[in-house]
Structure 1
Amino acid sequence: MSSLLSIGKSGLLAAQVGLSTTGNNITNANTAGYNRQVAIQGDTGTQYQGFGYVGSGTEIQAVRRYYDNFLATSLRGAEANQASLDAYNSQISQIDNLLADPTAGLSPALQDFFNGVQDATANPASSAARQSLLSNAESLASRFQGMSARLSEIATGVNSQITSNVGQINAYAKQIADINLTIAGLTTDQAAPNDLLDKRDQMLTELNKLVKVTVLPGDNNMLNVSIGTGQPLVVANKAFQLGTSTSPTDVSRVTIGYQADNGAFTALPDSVITGGQLGGLLEFRDGAMDRAQNSLGQVAAGLATAFNAQHVLGEDENGDLGTNFFNPIQAYVGTNSRNSPASTAAVSATVTDASALTASDYSVDYDGTNFNVTRKSDGKVTQINPFPQTTPQVIDGVAYSISGTPAQNDNFVVRPTYNAAKDFSVAIKDRDKIALAAPIATAAPTANVGNGKISAGTVDTNYLTPGNQLTTPATLTYDKASNSFSGFPAGQDVTVTVNGTSTVYPAGTPVTYTDGANISFGGVNFTISGAPADQDTFTVGPNTSGVGDSRNGALLAGLQTKNVLDNGKATFQTTYAQMVNYVGTKARESQISSTAADAAVKQATEAQQSVSGVNLDEEAANLLRYQQAYQACGKVMQVASQLFDTLLNIGN
């Protein structure tokens, strides 16, 4: 009878464990990270009774959790991608709204500014029109500065989120390392602490939403966690701490790296950190954010440089040559804080050519012999030659000046357009200083007999060279016998260009006349056409009555539709439109990808839950099954008790 009682008792205990396990599943059905468990039951062996082997009962061999590593890894990958896209989308939508705003964007301010230029050109003697132009220019500068400030606010917010995410990653890494040690201590050959395994998996899930992780099994049921391209985060019970620091070349930029206990910081490239919120933030900052800031700056720097270049070729109401209308744009130069203390090298960079300007950043490096300027967008390298410099070297529209004594491996980062929108400002405050007139005037006396005509004339940058400005009129006299003109300013060569072919006439020599040819000297350009008569004259001299002249104003207004940027392929408006289109496209791509990521997470969750999730209907059925087993085993024990009583009664 003791055998039957033992069998019943073992079944009773097994059913009790089954009921407890099922009840635990039911109560934790909504617990995040919980994996359903099942009691694995087996027999306790048999005993030989002469006629055969008789069972001795049952036992619980293990309480196993249903966990599929492949499905769990797939779900983590989908969630990391989802978190990355959500973080990226929330940031880029801010820039998209800023740039595309039809009232607060840049396009209306640009249009108003050039409308002011056109109005002043149409009424060059009007003080009101000139003042309106200055007001529109200030409004444009304010718009550039406001948009730059908003982009800087977004960048500051990104820095704050990066720092916060790194702190959370460190906290999870420490917890995972601690629980690794606890799990290792509680794990036996027969059993593992299921609740702690679930808790660790949930920590990995939350960590993975911050940064994509790779999880590999370690010794004694511990896990090793790495990020990026294999950078360790948790190895057994040791957690590696990440940290943040300012960029060595840009104090407004946060970098990520390993933080040692002694305070030493080892930076990691942004490219190794992918997935999760942190990966999405870095992708946004290094992609759309930098592109938007640099492209906006390209428009600002290009406009300031091109407008100034034309404005200085004009004449103001006081009869003086024009000055810079906007303040010149200085490129941002970041000196690497890790440069040798012995180095005294300094780099300055000024935007000088709007058409050659790019939206790329540049790295300036000294290899011990030469300075090399690397364009980061495509890796093109240009050597500073000669060094030491005698004059600034222009690379992609930026004049580089390097001074001091460098040390090997000195590094500088040059961002030509990074701060251009922030630094965009109006230099002229006096409306009389607006140079709408041309500095030269041409004339054909009414006493001329022939029908020769001379154009109004223009000047180029050579006119600004000291000694080239006209102070008195030059009278050009036509000699029919030699078909040439004489009377050009002494000491200046004359260039005649016909159908793209130029001929240079040394100073003081007669210049052969060609109908319609372009004639230039000392930065002055004009054409003479028609059939002049012998001894007909034409004058080229300073503009002494330019109050009502707006020839330079017309050239300034023409910059609105002129292909100034991108090597003469784009206007200011089209360049800005390209930037808006780029950001809008990236925002739309992000939204579409985010929707697809949500679907991928849903699908991966369903697959994972089909194995590890708690099905309440199934658990209810198991509850009834274990209840019946418990009752049946109780009946077995009752029968055993009755048989035992019967045997005792027979003895009496």
Structure 2
Amino acid sequence: MALDAFSTATAGLRVTQAQIGVVSQNIANVGTAGYVRRTLSPVTSGTGNAGVATGTIARALDTAALKQLRSENSGAAYTALKSGIHTQLDALYGKPGDASALDGVFNAFTLSLQTLAANPTSTAARSTVLSAANDLATRIGSAANGVQALRSGLETQLSTDTTTASGLLAQLAKLNTRIIAATADDPSRPDLEDQRDQALNSLSGLIDINAVTQSDGSVSVLTGSGVTLLDRANAATLSFDARGTLSANALYDADPSRSGVGTIVATTPGGGKIDLLASGAIRSGSITAAIELRDTTLPQAQRQLDDLAAGLSRAMSDRLATGTAASDGIKAGFDIDLTGLSAGNAITLTVQDASGTQRNLILMPSYQSPPSAVPASGTDDANATVIPFTIPPPGASRDPATIRSAISAALGAGYQVSSVPGGEAGAVRILSTGGAALRAASASVTQVTSSSDTKGSATQIPLFVDGQSAALYTGSFDHGSQLTGFAQRITVNPAIVGNSASLVSIVGAASGSGDATRPQALYTALTSTQRTFSSASGIGGISAPTKSSVADFVQGVISVQGAAASAAQDLNEGQSIALSTAQGRFASASGVNIDDEMSNLIALQQAYTANARVLTAARDMIDTLLRI
């Protein structure tokens, strides 16, 4: 009996000593990142299970809490990047109301026009207008350059993050191999599993993942959409074809040969390739946030600035042509004055079919033959049907009959195009003869012939022009979209800078240099005249164009960006709370609680003392028996 007690107490000491070692290890790693609390549960052994033996060391892992933690980690990385970029984007426009902010600079420009209208003979007032115009063009260009700088930064970050993700997948494959090779009682196995979980947690911050534990102890990693990135020791390699510094024309396309930005390709061990962006394989994490910002959010911000620059320029140089209802007694339609029509001066016809559905036909004039194809996304209405047609170039005969014929050919059967009886030579009558019913007609028609046409007989003037070449802005698509990137190229016309009298001098005006008509008309065109701004700008709803004055559009841009930054910040704060909650839940189940471990240590020390006393008693019994 003494021998049995001796054997049992010895086994108990061994087990207790091993448990004390595990608890000590837990205490020593209380501040170690990624460390999961270890446990050791004794197992019965011997005849009739009367003995005890050391079991295997296991991790106190709550798999459900860990899965939730990774999900919230992906979401937090996503919202953090979105919030950070939105905040930087909002800062590009300045603090609303500040003199140096976008709205402050715009207001200074309109105020200078008012001042000039009140005192048109003042040379100082003219200089102030030109200075304010230059400040406004520079401010718009600075914001647009900032947008592209943010996009370029995200392109670089995507390259870095993709390399990191690919490295983590390779690391996970190696850890899987080592874990499979380790036996269940190998003391290094829990450490390897901790390292693997840390790598998985890091990967979850980059992309949304689902880690599936296999029967051999390895894990397989899939994206949230189900694309396998890791299967035991076989890891996909991720690559990113970075394009460097991005411009306004650098946009994403599912076809890599046409895309102006990089994409992420996963190459499987078998050599297969999956475009993770084109397939929509990743849906959260910092990589997804960077993609959305680079390809959607920031291009829309660029479009807003391009639309603003275009609206500013065209408010100075264009005349808004609005159709008036017309009929020949049988057919109905609209008369519209297109005198001065230039390439890019889109003619928008709103038509209604038999079912009552309304849509826009956009007739896009071009100087090229055949005309270039025009994407609807580049016009005011991304849902419109765009019909390009050729008109005579500047310097050629601008016979109104030729333009009417071109419009008639573009519209085709179902519409009748003619001159307007008793109207201007450039006025056009468009009637429906069986096609969809016409409900509205409008156009923005450039009234100056070139950037050097600074006086003219009308109030319009090319105050803002396109780039260092001082090209007249008309919205042309003849050599690519003139609108795209215009915010970065807009500048004050050097011909007007060299002759500030053209701000008030109109050919044929009796008052000459003292005429306030032009500055007053320019002020009204900016602050009161309702212009059409594109649906792609996202001001007033993404699905339809919006009408507002240029002044209201400036406020709309600032308001939209401010609201987006605030919403992104609120979302990030909410996600941070969710992540903190998930971390707390995981820590409570799998983390080291120093108080609990100290209590366990005291209990184990008492158990060790009890086993030692049994050994002492057994030894004394044996000594007594030996002395008998």
What secondary structure does 2:375 align onto?
A: strand
- 1:308 corresponding residue in structure 2: 317
1:382 aligns with 2:450: no
| Alignment-derived partner of residue 538 in structure 2 | none
* Alignment correspondent of 2:44: 43
Partner of 1:573: 551
Scaled by the length of structure 1, the TM-score of the pair is 0.66
Q: Displacement of 1:170 after TM fit?
A: 1.6
Q: CA deviation at 1:378?
A: 8.7
Work out whether residues 131 and 431 of structure 1, in 8 Å CA contact, stay in contact via their aligned partners in 2.
Answer: no
Q: Does 1:558 align with 2:551?
A: no
Q: Of 274, 283, 291, which residue of structure 2 is paired with 1:274?
A: 283
Report how far residue 573 of structure 1 moved.
1.9
Residue 424 (structure 1) aligned to one of 490, 493, 516 = 490
CA contact (8 A) 1:124 1:550 kept: yes
- How far did residue 645 of structure 1 move? 2.7
Match runs of 1:10-21 below 5 Å: 10-21=11-22
Residue 631 of structure 1 and its aligned partner are, at CA, apart by 2.3
CA shift at 1:586, angstroms? Answer: 1.6
Give CA-to-partner distance per residue, 1:373-416, whole Å, 9 cap, x none: 3539996263546799997989998867579xxxxxxxxxx776
Tell me how far apart the structure 2 counterparts of residues 16 and 183 of structure 1 sit (CA, whole Å): 26
Pairwise CA distance, 1:559: 0.8
SS at match of 1:38: strand
Q: Which residue of 1 aligns with 2:308?
A: 299
Answer whether contact 1:243 1:265 (CA < 8 A) is retained. Answer: no
Q: What letter is aligned with 1:89?
A: S
Q: Deviations over 1:433-474 (max 9, x none)?
A: 7264555xxxxxxxxxxxxxxxxxxxxxxxxxxxxxxxxxxx
Match of 1:225 among 213, 221, 224: 221
The offset of 1:219, in angstroms, is 4.7
Shift of 1:602: 2.1
1-structure distance, mates of 2:391, 2:274: 35
Distance 1:417 1:234 in 2: 45
Matched, 1:612 2:590: yes
- Residue of structure 2 equivalent to 1:596: 574
179 and 570 in structure 1: CA distance in 2 versus 1, 3 angstrom threshold: same
Match of 2:601 in 1: 623
1:265 and 1:145, CA in 2 relative to 1: closer, same or farther beyond 3 A? farther
AA matched with 1:555: A
Report if the CA contact (8 A) 1:310-1:556 is conserved.
no
Aligned to 2:266: 258
Amino acid of the residue matched to residue 297 of structure 1?
A: D
Residue 4 (structure 1) shift: 3.1
Residue of structure 1 in register with 2:112 after alignment: 116
Distance 1:559 1:180 in 2: 68
Amino acid at match of 1:194: P
TM-score normalised per structure 2: 0.68
Whether the 8 Å contact between 2:221 and 2:228 is mirrored in structure 1 is: yes
Contact residue 228 and residue 272 of structure 1 kept, 8 A: yes
Matched with 1:77 is 71
Deviation, 1:592, is 1.7
For the residues of structure 1 that align with 2:546 and 2:15, how far apart are their CA atoms? 84
Structure 2 CA distance for aligned equivalents of residues 646 and 38 of structure 1:
40
Distance in 2 (alpha carbons) for counterparts of 1:396 and 1:270:
40
Query: Are 2:502 and 1:434 aligned?
Result: yes
Could you tell me which of 135, 141, 147 is aligned with 2:143?
A: 147
Q: 1:637 corresponds to which residue?
A: 615
Q: Which has the higher strand share?
A: 1
Q: 1:215 to 1:300 in 2, by over 3 A?
A: same
CA distance in 2, matches of 1:545, 1:642: 129
- Secondary structure of the structure 2 residue equivalent to 1:208: helix
- CA deviation digits over 1:231-287, x for unaligned, max 9? 332221122222222355888644333367999884623954332222332333344
**CA shift in 2, pair 1:391/1:46, >3 Å:** farther
Moved more, 121-130 or 234-243: 121-130
Cα distance in 2 for partners of 1:116, 1:4 equals: 103
Check if 1:285 corresponds to 2:286. Answer: no
Q: Please, which runs of 5 or more residues in structure 2 have no aligned partner?
A: 244-251, 321-339, 351-359, 361-371, 393-404, 412-441, 445-473, 534-544
Structure 1 residues 318-358: Cα deviation after superposition (integer angstroms, max 9, x where no partner): xxxxxx9xxx9xxxxxxxxxxxxxxxxxxxx95768999x9
Over alpha carbons, which structure has the higher Rg?
A: 1
When structure 1 is superposed on structure 2, of 295-304 and 117-126 the one drifting more is 117-126
Give how far 1:99 is off: 1.6
1:514-565 alpha-carbon deviations (Å, 9 max, x no partner): xxxxxxxxxxxxxxxxxxxxxxxxxxxx657744444344322211222223
The 8 Å contact of residues 176 and 233 in structure 2, kept in 1 or not, is answered as yes
User: Is this contact kept in 1: 2:266–2:276, CA < 8 A?
Assistant: yes
CA contact (8 A) 2:179 2:189 kept: yes
Residue 624 (structure 2) pairs with residue 646 (structure 1): yes
Aligned letter for 2:300? R
Q: What amino acid sits opposite 1:13 in the alignment?
A: R
1:33 deviates by: 1.6
CA distance in 2, matches of 1:415, 1:628: 82
Deviations 1:155-200 (A, max 9, x none): 2222222222222212211111110111111144999921211111
Secondary structure of the 1:58 match is strand
Q: Whole-Å Cα distance in 2 between the matches of residues 228 and 391 of structure 1? A: 53
> Residues of 1 paired with 2:33 and 2:609: CA distance?
34
For 1:115 and 1:355, how far apart are their aligned partners in 2?
35
Contact 1:6 1:56 in 2 (8 A): no
Q: Secondary structure of the residue that 2:229 maps to in structure 1?
A: strand
2:78 counterpart of 1:90: no
Distance 1:585 1:396, change over 3 A: farther
- Output the CA distance in 1 between the equivalents of 2:125 and 2:348: 27
**Counterpart among 60, 63, 69 of residue 66 in structure 1:** 60
2:375 aligned with 1:373: yes
Contact 1:213-1:225 at 8 Å conserved across structures:
yes
| Cα contact 1:306–1:353 (8 A) shared by 2 | no
Per the alignment, residue 513 of structure 1 pairs with: none
Corresponding position of 2:465? none
Native 8 Å contact 1:305 1:353 kept in 2: no
SS in 2 for 1:375: helix
With over 3 angstroms needed to count, the CA separation of the structure-2 counterparts of 1:56 and 1:554, relative to structure 1, is: closer
Distance across 1 between alignment mates of 2:297 and 2:225? 23
CA RMSD between the two structures:
3.9
Match of 2:430 in 1: none
* Partner in structure 2 of residue 132 of structure 1: 128
- Aligned runs of 1:485-496 on 2, under 5 Å? none
For the residue of structure 1 that corresponds to 2:526, the secondary structure is: coil
Question: Percent same amino acid among aligned pairs?
Answer: 25
Which residue type is aligned with residue 560 of structure 1? L
The SS at the match of 2:491 is: coil
Q: How many angstroms does 1:305 deviate by? A: 2.1
Give the match's secondary structure for 2:57: strand
| Contact 1:302–1:353 (CA under 8 A) maintained in structure 2 | no
User: Do 2:127 and 2:500's aligned partners in 1 also have CA atoms closer than 8 Å?
Assistant: no
Alignment partner of 1:163 is 2:163: no
Contact persistence 2:390–2:406 (CA under 8 A): no
Query: CA 1:251–1:375 in structure 2 vs 1: closer, same or farther (change >3 Å)?
Result: closer
Letter in 1 for 2:35: Y
The total of aligned residue pairs comes to 484
- Where 2:81 maps in the other structure, the secondary structure is helix
Residue 69 of structure 1: how far off its partner (Å):
1.0
Query: C-alpha separation between the residues in 2 aligned to 1:297 and 1:385?
Result: 22
Which whole-Å CA distance do the structure 1 matches of 2:318 and 2:626 have between them?
121
Structure 1 residues 587 and 158: alpha-carbon distance in aligned structure 2, compared to 1, 3 A threshold:
same
State the 1:20 CA deviation. Answer: 0.9
Conserved? CA contact 2:141–2:489, under 8 Å? yes
